[in-house]
Copies of this chain bind each other. A is one copy, B any other.
Amino acid sequence: MSLDPVLARIDADLPQALDRLMALLRIPSISTDPAHADACREAADWMVRDLASIGFDARTCPTPKHPMVVGKAGETGPSLLFYGHYDVQPVDPLSLWARDPFDPAIEETPKGKVIRARGAGDDKGQLMTFIEACRAWKAVHGSLPARITMFLEGEEESGSPSMVPFLKENAETLKADLALICDTGMLGNATPAIVTMLRGLVGEEITITGPDKDLHSGMYGGPAINPIRVLARIIAALHDETGRVTVPGFYDGVPEMPEEILAQWQGTGFDPAQFLGEVGLSTPAGEDGRSVLEMLWSRPTCEVNGISGGYEGAGFKTVLPSKASAKISFRLVGSQDPVRIRESFREMVRGLLPPDCSVDFAPHGASPASQMSIGDPAFEKARLALSQEWPNPAAFVGSGGSIPVAGYFRNLLGMDSMLIGFGRDDDAIHSPNEKYDLESFHKGIRSWARILAALSA
């Protein structure tokens, strides 16, 4: 089946594709916030209706939290599972948004047109690139070039609590030759990337309790233990002076990258100064003696994602609080074991507690790192197809982010994932004023059409 009319159809249909994306972006499907459960349901229903309009046999599948969307179409060609997520991150601090995060708009910027909204880049804009490619293919040829299962999740930004049981129960429905995932980025603006190494993630929320009520810091300051100070000491103790994580056993299973891989990364044109400069930084933090790309793609980290305690409002309040808490995450590589790292972290925290303090732990997700078998010819086919759409050839790269589902697909369904996405470093995903480049959307759709053609040739 010929590709060129599909590409032409994509170009002609772009305004309508944008209208569809805007409609999806208007749904505030924040999965982590129980107040937005209805919006998640609404987004899932929207996805089902949209897939049905392209001929997919699609439905929502309930989970204890937000529904999964599963749809099937196509009679011939390779079997492919496409994964994306319709949920989005919270929007706070709302005051830093220049517009309502759920009132999407196309804005002119010095770097070109962008689609501005929460979820534009992560992941609604990205997942729609694949769906629009299918739509164009179906419109031109009357059928799809592959047997495609669409699999859209609503809990990715909440640690995917339902994913493992769902995959186990629906393994036969979901199994395919290869998974396609559109939730990653490019290298700069001209070089597409296929991610073949993904960091894992362990999230922990810790709450330190000292006194059993909030106290006056004048009446009790000194003899009463202050949980904020205890928490600060714990956080400060998580790294040594060289930037290494001090959790015992943390580096077990962390491989050193072969020289040739490091050399290949050098050749991607990645510019650390520009990467940091775009977010107002100039000096790499992190582990001594590691390059920025190493730290992002092949080194594990420990970060504090949030901290809270005592009086946080305007002005001053001389309280000595009862509790202080922090959200801490570890990014994992190689064969680091998320379960052992969680236990070792908890043990270390307990060991740092002074008398009269207690700690509560709340787990938020645990996924190992994953690495794809790029010997599969599909990877090289996709790489060449991408290279035809974009100015520079596509590269096999690592990713600092965690996409746990790729690990689950490998372990539970026995298939590798091809991670291809069109995000840019300045997309501000998880931040105020998130955007997705119009070029990413348009050429992303065209890229998937090319990849579908290459995989089904």
Q: Which residues of A contact B (CB under 8 A)?
A: 32-34, 89-90, 92, 96, 157-159, 185, 199, 201, 203, 205, 210-226, 228-229, 231-233, 235-239, 272, 275-276, 279-287, 290, 292, 295-296, 299, 301, 303-321, 324, 326-327, 329, 331, 354-356, 364-365, 399-402, 425, 428-432
Closest approach, in angstroms, between the C-beta of A101 and any C-beta of chain B?
13
Counted per complex, copies of this chain come to 2
List 22 A–B pairs whose Cβ atoms lie within 8 Å, in order of A's numbering: A89-B317, A90-B311, A92-B311, A92-B313, A201-B318, A213-B428, A215-B430, A216-B430, A218-B331, A219-B296, A223-B275, A224-B279, A224-B285, A232-B307, A236-B236, A280-B356, A304-B310, A305-B321, A306-B317, A316-B365, A318-B329, A318-B402
Taking a contact as CB atoms closer than 8 A, the residue among B275, B324, B430 that contacts A318 in the complex is B430
Q: What's the Cα separation between A439 and B429 when bound, in Å?
A: 58
Q: Contact: A281 with B225, CB < 8 Å?
A: yes
Q: Which residues of B contact A210 (CB under 8 A)?
A: 281
Q: Which residues of B contact A217 (CB under 8 A)?
A: 301, 303, 305, 329, 331
Q: Contact: B314 with A33, CB < 8 Å?
A: yes
Q: What's the Cα separation between A222 and B298 when bound, in Å?
A: 11
Q: Which residues of B contact A304 (CB under 8 A)?
A: 226, 228-229, 232, 309-310
Q: What's the Cα separation between A327 and B430 when bound, in Å?
A: 27
Q: A425's closest neighbor in chain B, by CB?
A: B219
Closest approach, in angstroms, between the C-beta of A315 and any C-beta of chain B?
3
Q: What's the Cα separation between A319 and B304 when bound, in Å?
A: 8
Q: Contact: B318 with A222, CB < 8 Å?
A: no
Taking a contact as CB atoms closer than 8 A, the residue among B159, B223, B276, B425 that contacts A223 in the complex is B276
Closest approach, in angstroms, between the C-beta of A91 and any C-beta of chain B?
10
Q: A299's closest neighbor in chain B, by CB?
A: B222
Q: A198's closest neighbor in chain B, by CB?
A: B218
- Of A331, A356, A399, most B-chain CB atoms within 10 Å: A356
Q: A222-B299, A307-B308 are in contact. List 7 more A-B contacts (CB 8 A).
A: A90-B317, A214-B431, A215-B279, A228-B235, A235-B236, A282-B356, A317-B430
Q: Contact: B306 with A311, CB < 8 Å?
A: yes
Q: Contact: B401 with A314, CB < 8 Å?
A: no
Q: A330's closest neighbor in chain B, by CB?
A: B221
Closest approach, in angstroms, between the C-beta of A180 and any C-beta of chain B?
20
Q: Contact: B218 with A285, CB < 8 Å?
A: no
Q: What's the Cα separation between A230 and B161 when bound, in Å?
A: 32
Closest approach, in angstroms, between the C-beta of A244 and any C-beta of chain B?
11
Closest approach, in angstroms, between the C-beta of A186 and any C-beta of chain B?
12
Q: A362's closest neighbor in chain B, by CB?
A: B316
Known: A222-B285, A283-B356. A312 touches B316 (CB 8 A): no
Closest approach, in angstroms, between the C-beta of A376 and any C-beta of chain B?
25
Known: A216-B401, A222-B299, A235-B228. A34 touches B314 (CB 8 A): yes
Closest approach, in angstroms, between the C-beta of A442 and any C-beta of chain B?
23
Q: Which residues of B contact A216 (CB under 8 A)?
A: 401, 429-431
